[in-house]
C-alpha cells in the first residue's frame, strides 16, 4: 500500500482528475436516479379478472375461480394464489417468486388462460372473457383526480372521463392504467314490453337477433372500373335511437314489426357498482392513475400534471380536472426530510472535525470525504437501478458520520507524525510512513462495517425489498470512504502541505480533560473486579429491558392523508350507502384540520383493489400542519374522527393511509396490520369460529378497528327449477335461465359508434316487469308450442341468505378476522392474541388458523437475522483473528458488541420506541461501529508494546493517544445521526428508531471502550504472561 501511495503522490494531478471524474459521474447519476417516496415492496403479482353479469358468488367460485386456480398452480415460480369470488366478479391474484421477471410471469399466465377458459362452462356469461390486470405495481396508485363540472350531469362527466381524459392520460409514458369511478356509463337501452311480444308472437331472442343482424358494416372486396380499383363498403351500422327503433324484427300479415312496436328505445345508464362523492356535497367522477411496474413515480407524476393541464384547455367550458391525491407531495416531503437531515448532519460533522483537528486545511481534507463517498454511492445506485427514496437516501444519512471516521484516523495520524519535531524525513516519506501504520486497521474497520450489513441483504420478500436499498447505500458509501481515506486523503494532504513545513503539534485532547480521563482510567485499572461486576449488572439490566420492548415491523409513516374505511350491511343498496357515506363525510369535513373529503363507494372498474358495494373508502386530505387548531399529530386527528363517527348504526370503521393500506393488503390480504385467517371448507363453521375469535380479540388491550370479513348475509332471490314441470312443457333449463338473465340483467346486443366514442346497445324487459319479486314470479316463459307459462309454475322461487363473497388462498376457503393495534406494539398484541385464542377456540380436523399482517414480516425477518447475524459475526471474528492472530484480542474487541447493545436498548426504552426492523438495522450498524472503536484501541496497544513499553504504560499511552480519534469518530457519527432523531418531517418515523439505537449504543460503547477494554486488556494480558 505504501508504494501505491508514494506513486499517487508523485502523480497528484492524476488523482485529482480521478476525483473530479468520480464527482461528475456521481452528479450525473444523482440526476438520473428515479425519485420515489418509498421502495416498491409489491410482490411479483399477476391479476386475472372475470366479470360475470349477475352471477352469485357460489357459481363464480365453482365455475370460474376454481378452473383459473387449477390452471395457474402448475406454472413454475408461483408462490401463492389468492382469490375472491363475489357477485359478478372473480379476482385471482397469482404471486410469483421475486426472481421471476414480471413480463415472463405475465406470459406464463397468458398461456394458461386458454386452458382455464376451456374448463369454464359455456353458459357462464363473461362478456370480456378472462382478463389480465394491467402491469401495474401493487403500490402504483400515484395520482387521483375528480372531474369538476357543476353544470354537467354525472353521465356527461363520465363520458368525458372515458372518451377524452382517460384515453389521453393512458398515453402518458409510465402510466399503466386509469380506473374510473362514479357517474353513469351511457347506454342505448331497448326496454322490451313482454305483452307486446305476446301480441306479435315474438320471443326475446327474436328481438336480440334482429338488432344484431341489422347493426353491422361489411367489406365486399374490390371491383375494377377502367384503370381504377374501387373498394366496396356495405354500411348498415345504427347511429341514432331512430335507427334502432326502425329495425325490422319480422313481418306479420305483410306488415313489418319494428323494434319500436315492442319496446321503448332510449338513452339510459348502465347498472353500476360504484359511486364517488365530494365533501358530502355532490356526486362526482373520479380517475385513479396507476404507474407502470418499475416506473419513476416522480417523473410520471410530472408528465401527468403537464398532460392534465393541456387536457383542461380542451375540455368544455365549466369542466376541469382537479387533483386530490398526489404522491409527489409525499415524495417531496420525504426527500426534504432526508435532505434536511443530511445538511444539518454535514454542518455538525464539519464543526466537529475543525474543532478536534484544530486546522482548517486538515478539516477540509476530512470533510471532502463526505461528497466523494456519497457521489461514489450514487454511481452504483444508478447502475443498479436503485431509486432515490426515503430508505436509500436515509442509508446515506445514516452513513454520514461514519464516512469521515477512516479519514479522521488517517489525517490525525499524518498530522501527528508531521508535528513530531524529532522526525527529519521528507513530508512525502512521513505521510507514506504514517499511512502505512494505520492502513491495515482502517481497512479492517471499514470492512467490518460493510460486512455487518450482509444480514440486511439476506432479508426476503417485503422486508428485503424495503431495506436492502438502505444496506446497499451504506455499503457503497463506506467503500467510497475507504478509497478516500487510504488513497486520496494522503495525496490531498501532500498536495496542500508545503515541503519543509511542519504541522503545528496539536494536543491530542485538552490537558484538563486528558488528565481527568487518565485518573479515571487508573482508578478502574486498580479496581478490575468492580468494573467487571458493573458491566455484568448493566448487561443483565439491558437484557431485562430488551425482553420488555414492544415489537413491530416498521413504525407507521405519517403520509398526511387519512383513509376512513367504512363497512356496512352486506345487503345495503348503493343509494343507502351513498346517503350514509355523505353523513360520515359531513362529520369529517367539519374538522378544522381537514381540507377535503372524497368517498369511493364500491368499484367502478376492475383493478388492483376491487371492493364491494357495502364498502366506502373515504380519503381525507389534511391541511398543512401549521394550520391545525385542535390536533398536534395525525394520530390525534384519527382519534377525534373515530370518536365522532364510531356510533353510526350498522357501520364498522377502520383507519389507514393510502400507502399503508396498500402494503397491508399486499402483505396480509386485508387492509389492516393484523389478520387472523381461519381456513376450512364449510362456510357456516368458519363463520361461527371466526365470531369466537373476534370475541376473544375484542378483550385484548390495544385492539382497534376489529372486524370479521363479511362473507355471508347477502339476501338472494333463489329460483330453483322444477324439472318435472319444465319437461311437461317441453322446455329445458337453459331456455328458462337464458330468458331470466336477459329479462332482468339484460344482454349487450351491439354498439353505437359516435365518432371515437362507443356505447353499448342493451336489451332487457321494461322496469315494470322486473322491479320486484312479484313481477319476476309472473315472468312469462314461451314454450315450443307457442303458449306462455309464468315462471312461478316452472320453479320454486324463494328468498334465502347466501354468501356475499368467498375468499380462497392456495385453493382453500378462509375467513379473516382483521384489526389494527393502537397504544401498544403489534408483536406483543399478536403473542397475547395467539395464546388466548388457542386457549379459548377449539378447531375441528380440517380447520386451521394462520396469523398474518405486518407482524408476520417482522417475525420472518427476525428468524432470518437470527441465523445470518451469528454467521456474519463469525466472519468478523475470522477477520479480526487474521489481523491480530490472538483470540484474546478478538474476544476483547467482540466484547464491545454487548456493551453497545446495552446503550441501544436503554435509549429505545427511554424514547418509547418499539423493537422494529429499522431499530434492528440500527443494532447491526452499531456492531460495526463498536467493533471499529475496539479494533483501533487494541491495535494501538499492540503497536506500543512492540516499542518496549510495559503493559500498563502501553495501555495508558494508547488510550491517551487514541482518545481524540475515538471521541471524534463517536461524536461525528452521533451528530451525523442526530438530525434524524430531532426532525419531525415526513418519513422521520422510519429513520428515528435506527438513529436512536446507534446514538445510544455509541455513548455506552465509547465510554466502556475507553474504560472497560483497557482494564480487561491489562488483566487478560497480564494473566496470559503469568
The 3-state secondary structure of 475-539, one letter per residue: HHHHHHHHHHHHHHHHHHHHHHCCCCCCCCCCCCCCHHHHHHHHHHHHHHHCCHHHHHHHHHHHH
Task: Provide the 3-class DSSP secondary structure of residue 1026.
Answer: coil
Is residue 342 domain-shared with residue 478, that is, in the same domain? yes
The residues facing 263 across adjacent strands are 192
The confidence score (pLDDT) of residue 1 equals: 65
CA 537-540-543 angle, to 5 degrees, is 150
Last residue of a domain, one of 506, 540, 572: 506
Q: Are 926 and 1002 in contact (CB under 8 A)?
A: yes
Mean pLDDT per 10-residue run, the chain (1026 residues)? 78 87 93 80 85 87 94 89 90 89 91 90 84 77 89 92 94 91 93 89 89 92 88 92 95 92 93 87 90 83 94 92 86 78 79 74 86 93 86 82 82 77 70 84 85 84 82 92 91 76 53 82 86 87 86 76 88 89 91 91 75 86 86 87 87 84 67 85 92 93 86 86 92 88 88 92 89 86 85 92 89 90 81 91 91 75 81 85 83 82 89 84 82 80 82 86 78 82 76 87 83 84 60
Q: Is residue 214 part of a domain?
A: no
Last residue of a domain, one of 451, 475, 506: 506
Q: Are 497 and 427 in contact (CB under 8 A)?
A: yes
Task: Provide the 3-class DSSP secondary structure of residue 784.
Answer: coil
Phi, psi dihedral angles at 558 (to 5 degrees)? -85, 105
CB-based burial label for 16 (10 Å; 0-12, 13-18, 19+): middle
Q: Is residue 255 part of a domain?
A: no
Is residue 407 domain-shared with residue 496, that is, in the same domain? yes
Dist CA 715 CA 569 (whole Å): 11
For the record, the C-alpha cell of 268 comes out as 339510459
Q: For the chain, how are helix, strand and coil distributed in percent, rounded to 5? A: 55, 20, 25
The residues facing 765 across adjacent strands are 192
Is residue 928 domain-shared with residue 911, that is, in the same domain? yes
Q: Are 807 and 753 in contact (CB under 8 A)?
A: no
Dist CA 822 CA 826 (whole Å): 8
Residues 6+ apart with CB under 8 A from 695: none
Q: Are 659 and 38 in contact (CB under 8 A)?
A: yes
At what angle are helices 896-911 and 528-548 packed, to 10 degrees? 50
Dist CA 509 CA 177 (whole Å): 63
Task: Provide the 3-class DSSP secondary structure of residue 920.
Answer: helix
Dist CA 736 CA 597 (whole Å): 47
Dist CA 542 CA 997 (whole Å): 13
**Which residues form the domain of 539?**
509-548+886-1026
**Among 893, 965, 975, residue whose Cα is nearest residue 927:** 893
Is residue 463 domain-shared with residue 513, that is, in the same domain? no
**Among 1014, 177, 973, 36, residue whose Cα is nearest residue 531:** 1014
**Among 149, 150, 237, 235, residue whose Cα is nearest residue 188:** 237
Dist CA 547 CA 447 (whole Å): 31
CB-based burial label for 986 (10 Å; 0-12, 13-18, 19+): buried
Q: Are 660 and 558 in contact (CB under 8 A)?
A: no
Dist CA 180 CA 160 (whole Å): 11
Q: Is residue 993 part of a domain?
A: yes
For the record, the C-alpha cell of 1007 comes out as 465510554
Q: Is residue 97 part of a domain?
A: no
Q: Are 183 and 578 in contact (CB under 8 A)?
A: no
Phi, psi dihedral angles at 256 (to 5 degrees)? -70, 140
The confidence score (pLDDT) of residue 1023 equals: 56
Is residue 483 domain-shared with residue 538, that is, in the same domain? no
Is residue 353 domain-shared with residue 456, that is, in the same domain? yes
**Among 923, 921, 917, 918, residue whose Cα is nearest residue 904:** 923
The confidence score (pLDDT) of residue 501 equals: 52
Domain count, the chain: 2
How many other β-carbons are positioned within 10 Å of the β-carbon of residue 77?
Answer: 16
The confidence score (pLDDT) of residue 499 equals: 60
Dist CA 551 CA 558 (whole Å): 19
Element (H, E) at 789: strand 788-790
Dist CA 20 CA 423 (whole Å): 34
Q: CA dihedral in degrees (301, 304, 306, 308; nearest 10)?
A: -140
Residues 6+ apart with CB under 8 A from 777: 790, 791, 792, 797
Dist CA 710 CA 690 (whole Å): 11
Phi, psi dihedral angles at 624 (to 5 degrees)? -55, 145
**Among 351, 354, 374, 370, residue whose Cα is nearest residue 362:** 354
**Residue 532's domain is classified under what CATH number?**
1.20.1640.10
Q: Is residue 323 part of a domain?
A: no
Is residue 486 domain-shared with residue 520, that is, in the same domain? no
CA 377-378-381 angle, to 5 degrees, is 90
Is residue 439 domain-shared with residue 518, that is, in the same domain? no
Tell me, rounded to whole angstroms, the distance of Cα 860 from its chain centroid.
17
Dist CA 153 CA 163 (whole Å): 16
Is residue 497 domain-shared with residue 528, that is, in the same domain? no
Is residue 388 domain-shared with residue 514, that is, in the same domain? no
Task: Provide the 3-class DSSP secondary structure of residue 74.
Answer: coil
Q: Is residue 25 part of a domain?
A: yes
User: Position of cell 501532500?
Assistant: 494
Question: What secondary structure letter does DSSP report for 316?
Answer: P
Strands 703-708 and 812-821: antiparallel
Is residue 1016 domain-shared with residue 916, that is, in the same domain? yes
CB-based burial label for 171 (10 Å; 0-12, 13-18, 19+): exposed
Residues 6+ apart with CB under 8 A from 511: none
Dist CA 954 CA 957 (whole Å): 5
Q: Are 124 and 275 in contact (CB under 8 A)?
A: no
User: Position of cell 347498472?
Assistant: 271
Q: Is residue 751 part of a domain?
A: no
User: Position of cell 491517551?
Assistant: 960
Strands 186-192 and 757-765: parallel
CA 393-395-398 angle, to 5 degrees, is 115
CA atoms within 13 A on the CB side of 999: 22
The confidence score (pLDDT) of residue 631 equals: 84
Is residue 458 domain-shared with residue 498, that is, in the same domain? yes
Q: Is residue 543 part of a domain?
A: yes
Last residue of a domain, one of 506, 540, 564: 506
Q: Are 1011 and 895 in contact (CB under 8 A)?
A: no
The confidence score (pLDDT) of residue 502 equals: 52
Q: Are 166 and 143 in contact (CB under 8 A)?
A: no
Amino acid at each position: 500500500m505504501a508504494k501505491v501511495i508514494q506513486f499517487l503522490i508523485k502523480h497528484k494531478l492524476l488523482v485529482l482528475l480521478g476525483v473530479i471524474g468520480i464527482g461528475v459521474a456521481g452528479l450525473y447519476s444523482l440526476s438520473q436516479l428515479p425519485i420515489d417516496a418509498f421502495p416498491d415492496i409489491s410482490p411479483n403479482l399477476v391479476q386475472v379478472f372475470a366479470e360475470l353479469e349477475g352471477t352469485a358468488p357460489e357459481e363464480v367460485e365453482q365455475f370460474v375461480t376454481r378452473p383459473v386456480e387449477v390452471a395457474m398452480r402448475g406454472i413454475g415460480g408461483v408462490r401463492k394464489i389468492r382469490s375472491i369470488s363475489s357477485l359478478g366478479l372473480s379476482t385471482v391474484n397469482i404471486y410469483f417468486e421475486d426472481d421471476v421477471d414480471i413480463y415472463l410471469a405475465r406470459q406464463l399466465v397468458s398461456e394458461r388462460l386458454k386452458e382455464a377458459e376451456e374448463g369454464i362452462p359455456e353458459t357462464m356469461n363473461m362478456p370480456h372473457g378472462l382478463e389480465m390486470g394491467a402491469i401495474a405495481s401493487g403500490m402504483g396508485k400515484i395520482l387521483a383526480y375528480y372531474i369538476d363540472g357543476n353544470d354537467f350531469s354525472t353521465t356527461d362527466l363520465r363520458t368525458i372521463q372515458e372518451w377524452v381524459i382517460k384515453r389521453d392520460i393512458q398515453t402518458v409514458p409510465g402510466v399503466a392504467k386509469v380506473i374510473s369511478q362514479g357517474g353513469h356509463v351511457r347506454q342505448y337501452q331497448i326496454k322490451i314490453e313482454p305483452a307486446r311480444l305476446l301480441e306479435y308472437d315474438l320471443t326475446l331472442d327474436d328481438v336480440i337477433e334482429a338488432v344484431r343482424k341489422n347493426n353491422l358494416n361489411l367489406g365486399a372486396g374490390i371491383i375494377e372500373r377502367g384503370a381504377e380499383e374501387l373498394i366496396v363498403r356495405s354500411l348498415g351500422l345504427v347511429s341514432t335511437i331512430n335507427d334502432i327503433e326502425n329495425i325490422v324484427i319480422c313481418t306479420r300479415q305483410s306488415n313489418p314489426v319494428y323494434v319500436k312496436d315492442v319496446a321503448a328505445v332510449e338513452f339510459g345508464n348502465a347498472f353500476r357498482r360504484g359511486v364517488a362523492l365530494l365533501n358530502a356535497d355532490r356526486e362526482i367522477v373520479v380517475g385513479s392513475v396507476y404507474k407502470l411496474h418499475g416506473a419513476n413515480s416522480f417523473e410520471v407524476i410530472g408528465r401527468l400534471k403537464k398532460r392534465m393541464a393541456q387536457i383542461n384547455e380542451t375540455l368544455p367550458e365549466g369542466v376541469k380536472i382537479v387533483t386530490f391525491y398526489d404522491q409527489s407531495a409525499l415524495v417531496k416531503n420525504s426527500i426534504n426530510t432526508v435532505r434536511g437531515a443530511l445538511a444539518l448532519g454535514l454542518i455538525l460533522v464539519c464543526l466537529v472535525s475543525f474543532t478536534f483537528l484544530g486546522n482548517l486545511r486538515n478539516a477540509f481534507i476530512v470533510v471532502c470525504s463526505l461528497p466523494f463517498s456519497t457521489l461514489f454511492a450514487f454511481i452504483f445506485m444508478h447502475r443498479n437501478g436503485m431509486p432515490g427514496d426515503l430508505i436509500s437516501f436515509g442509508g446515506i444519512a445514516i452513513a454520514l458520520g461514519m464516512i469521515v471516521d477512516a479519514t479522521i484516523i488517517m489525517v490525525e495520524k499524518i498530522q501527528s507524525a508531521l508535528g513530531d519535531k524529532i522526525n527529519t524525513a521528507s513530508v512525502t516519506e512521513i505521510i507514506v510512513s504514517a499511512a502505512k501504520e494505520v492502513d491495515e486497521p482502517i481497512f479492517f474497520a471499514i470492512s467490518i462495517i460493510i460486512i455487518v450489513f450482509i444480514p440486511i441483504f439476506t432479508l426476503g420478500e417485503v422486508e428485503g425489498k424495503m431495506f436492502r436499498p438502505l444496506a446497499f447505500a451504506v455499503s457503497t458509501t463506506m467503500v467510497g470512504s475507504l478509497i478516500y481515506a487510504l488513497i486520496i486523503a494522503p495525496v490531498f494532504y501532500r498536495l496542500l502541505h508545503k515541503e519543509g513545513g511542519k504541522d503545528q503539534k496539536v494536543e491530542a485532547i485538552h490537558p484538563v480533560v486528558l488528565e481527568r480521563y487518565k485518573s479515571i482510567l487508573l482508578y478502574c485499572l486498580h479496581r478490575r473486579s468492580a468494573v467487571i461486576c458493573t458491566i455484568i449488572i448493566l448487561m443483565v439490566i439491558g437484557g431485562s429491558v430488551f425482553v420488555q420492548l414492544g415489537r413491530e415491523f416498521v413504525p407507521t409513516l405519517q403520509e398526511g392523508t387519512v383513509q376512513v374505511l367504512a363497512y356496512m350491511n352486506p345487503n345495503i343498496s348503493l343509494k343507502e350507502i351513498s346517503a350514509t357515506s355523505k353523513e360520515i363525510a359531513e362529520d369529517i369535513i367539519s374538522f378544522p384540520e381537514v381540507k377535503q373529503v372524497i368517498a369511493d363507494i364500491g368499484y367502478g372498474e376492475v383493478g388492483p383493489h376491487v371492493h364491494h358495494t357495502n364498502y366506502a373508502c373515504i380519503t381525507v386530505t389534511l391541511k398543512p400542519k401549521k394550520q391545525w387548531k385542535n390536533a398536534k399529530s395525525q394520530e390525534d386527528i384519527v382519534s377525534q374522527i373515530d370518536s365522532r363517527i364510531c356510533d353510526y348504526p350498522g357501520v364498522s370503521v377502520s383507519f389507514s393511509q393510502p400507502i399503508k393500506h396498500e402494503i397491508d393488503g399486499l402483505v396480509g390480504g386485508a387492509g389492516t396490520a393484523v389478520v387472523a385467517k381461519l381456513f376450512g371448507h364449510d362456510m357456516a363453521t368458519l363463520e361461527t369460529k371466526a365470531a369466537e375469535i373476534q370475541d376473544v380479540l375484542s378483550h385484548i388491550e390495544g385492539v382497534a378497528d376489529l372486524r370479521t370479513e363479511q362473507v355471508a348475509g347477502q339476501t338472494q332471490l333463489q329460483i330453483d327449477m322444477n324439472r318435472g314441470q319444465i319437461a311437461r312443457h317441453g322446455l329445458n333449463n337453459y331456455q328458462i335461465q337464458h330468458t331470466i338473465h336477459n329479462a332482468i340483467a339484460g344482454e349487450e346486443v351491439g354498439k353505437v359508434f359516435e365518432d371515437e366514442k362507443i356505447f353499448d346497445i342493451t336489451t332487457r324487459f321494461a322496469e315494470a316487469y322486473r322491479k320486484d319479486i312479484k313481477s319476476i314470479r309472473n315472468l312469462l316463459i314461451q314454450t315450443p308450442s307457442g303458449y306462455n307459462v309464468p315462471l312461478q309454475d316452472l320453479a320454486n322461487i324463494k328468498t334465502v341468505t347466501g354468501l356475499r363473497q368467498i375468499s380462497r388462498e392456495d385453493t382453500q376457503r378462509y375467513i379473516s378476522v382483521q384489526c389494527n393495534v393502537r397504544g401498544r406494539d403489534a408483536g406483543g398484541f399478536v403473542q397475547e392474541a395467539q395464546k388466548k385464542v388457542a386457549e379459548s377456540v377449539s378447531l375441528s380436523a380440517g380447520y386451521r388458523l394462520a396469523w398474518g399482517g405486518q407482524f408476520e414480516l417482522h417475525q420472518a425477518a427476525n428468524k432470518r437475522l437470527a441465523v445470518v447475524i451469528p454467521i456474519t459475526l463469525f466472519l468478523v471474528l475470522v477477520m479480526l483473528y487474521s489481523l491480530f492472530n490472538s483470540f484474546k484480542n478478538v474476544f476483547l474487541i467482540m466484547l464491545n458488541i454487548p456493551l453497545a447493545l446495552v446503550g441501544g436498548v436503554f435509549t429505545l426504552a427511554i424514547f418509547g420506541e418499539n423493537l422494529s426492523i429499522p431499530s434492528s438495522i440500527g443494532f447491526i450498524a452499531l456492531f460495526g461501529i463498536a467493533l471499529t472503536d475496539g479494533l483501533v484501541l487494541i491495535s494501538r496497544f499492540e503497536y506500543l508494546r512492540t516499542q518496549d513499553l510495559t503493559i500498563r504504560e502501553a495501555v495508558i499511552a494508547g488510550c491517551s493517544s487514541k482518545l481524540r480519534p475515538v471521541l471524534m469518530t463517536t461524536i461525528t457519527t452521533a451528530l451525523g445521526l442526530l438530525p434524524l432523531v430531532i426532525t419531525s418531517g415526513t418519513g422521520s418515523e422510519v429513520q428515528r428508531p435506527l438513529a436512536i439505537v446507534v446514538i445510544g449504543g455509541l455513548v455506552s460503547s465509547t465510554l466502556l471502550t475507553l474504560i472497560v477494554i483497557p482494564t480487561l486488556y491489562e488483566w487478560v494480558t497480564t494473566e496470559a504472561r503469568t
